[in-house]
Amino acid sequence: MRIVLLGFGSVGQGIARAIHTKDLGITITGCADSRSGVVDDAGIDIGAALERKQKTGYCGDTRITPMDVVATAEYDVLVEVTPTNVTTGEPASSHIRTAIERGKHVVTSNKGPIALAYRDLQAAARRNGVCLKYEATVCGAIPLINAMQEGLAGNTVTRLLGVLNGTCNYILTRMSEEGLTYEQALMEARELGYAEADPTYDVKGIDAAIKLVILANTVLHLDKTLDDVETTGIDLLTPDALRLADEQDCTIRLIGEIVPGDGVLRVSPRIIPKTHPLVVEGTLNAVTVETDMAGEITFIGRGAGSTETASAVISDLLSIRDRYVQGS
Ligand code: HSE
């Protein structure tokens, strides 16, 4: 199976490394970062592209744009992992539409296009007979979308409650357990590749709110936008608030909640007992889904990180290969 990889930051490099080191039967025929690109229909040298990126900051030739790659390379699946833009969804939305119109399948970790235009993109994919998959947009390595769409098919979800942002969880854990300041903990999360390109998306609760919109629209059959989510972040939390919670054997976590029955979507820091199942450490995410038939199920796993997000992207790719791509 041949893929084009757009986005060569933390997530893109994680995918490239996984394809380079594991025998997955995947060839990368083009890749691009925001300032350069490379196309080779016989398969690019992934090791060389990774090394070039490390040394120069560019994965390819500065005369080749991401759109050149998506519009001209030979491939079966576009992997779109450029940074999220929640206002316009661009340039990812245009990359995705171009690939779909060329009859290519799409796998993305990019939350912007899925939160803003899921129905349009899915309709375009159906018209063109291709598949659009987006497991990596929510909760990193946890196969939550797949589990809810397939494993819990037929259930009615009465409530979803969870820790959906690894960066905030990492910051809160480091502040309460190691006594780091908010700024120190945020700097660490950025250095470790957990935070968004614009980390205000993380700390202001926007990233968690986007994930709720994606879950609402793609899994729970609601029709929500970011404006429908009541959102409060962790950026104004003081160390005193964490200390006070600690004195009561509680801690603070940024919690996202959907109650489908009354259409409520909200994200806010909440004080919860330390023994609560949603009190997870570091970049872990945890999501409890309440359903009519399966009862209550909690998913816990790594919600952010290069390899962890690559895990979700690769799983989407292999599922497309097994269902749609012949001869690979
Ligand atoms: N910045 C996001 C997080 C990455 O920290 O959860 C995964 O979506």
Task: Tell me the backbone φ, ψ of residue 254, rounded to 5 degrees.
Answer: -85, 115
Residue 270's beta-bridge partner residues? 253
| Same domain, residue pair 176 and 286 | yes
Which atom of ligand 1 has the smallest separation from the CA of 309? 7
Tell me: do 224 and 252 sit in the same domain. Answer: yes
State the catalytic residue, choosing from 104, 111, 133, 211: 211
Statement to judge: residues 255 and 133 lie in one domain: no
Task: Tell me: do 13 and 63 sit in the same domain.
Answer: yes
Q: What is the CATH number of the domain that holds 287?
A: 3.30.360.10
Could you tell me whether strands 37-39 and 157-163 are parallel, antiparallel, or unpaired per DSSP bridges?
unpaired
CATH number for 59:
3.40.50.720
The whole-number pLDDT of residue 325 equals 85
Same domain, 165 and 299: yes
Cα separations in angstroms, 144 against 24, 160, 228, 289: 23, 12, 22, 10
Q: What is the pLDDT of residue 230?
A: 98
Please return the burial class of 317, using the count of CB atoms within 10 Å of its CB with bins 0-12, 13-18 and 19+. Answer: buried
Do 157 and 283 fall within a single domain? yes
Same-domain pairing of 315 and 281: no
Number of domains the chain is built from: 2
Cis amide prior to 91 (ω within 30 degrees): yes
Is any ligand 1 atom within 6 A of the Cβ of residue 301?
no
> From the CB of 304, is ligand 1 less than 6 Å away?
yes
DSSP character string of 201-270: HHHTTHHHHHHHHHHHHHTS-----GGGEEE--STT--HHHHHHHHHTTEEEEEEEEEEGGGTEEEEEEE
Looking at the fold, whether 170 and 54 belong to one and the same domain comes out as no
Task: Of 93, 97, 36, give the one whose Cα is nearest residue 68.
Answer: 36
The domain in which residue 248 lies consists of 145-303
Same domain, 206 and 260: yes
Whole-number pLDDT of residue 326 = 67
Q: Is residue 140 within 6 Å of ligand 1 at its C-beta?
A: yes
Together in a domain, 211 and 168: yes
How many angstroms does the Cα of residue 213 sit away from the middle of ligand 1? Answer: 15
- Nearest partner of 252 among 159, 173, 164, judged by Cα: 173
pTM, two decimals, is 0.96
Residue 270 has pLDDT above 80, yes or no: yes
Q: Is 169 in the same domain as 127?
A: no
The tens digit of pLDDT for each residue in 29-64 reads: 999 999 999 999 999 999 999 999 999 999 999 999
- pLDDT (0 to 100) of residue 94: 98
Q: Is the CB of residue 170 below 6 angstroms from any atom belonging to ligand 1?
A: no
Check whether 89 has a pLDDT greater than 70. Answer: yes
In this predicted model, what pLDDT tens digit does every residue of 177-230 receive, in sequence order? Answer: 998 999 999 999 999 999 999 999 999 999 999 999 999 999 999 999 999 999
Same domain, 198 and 311: no
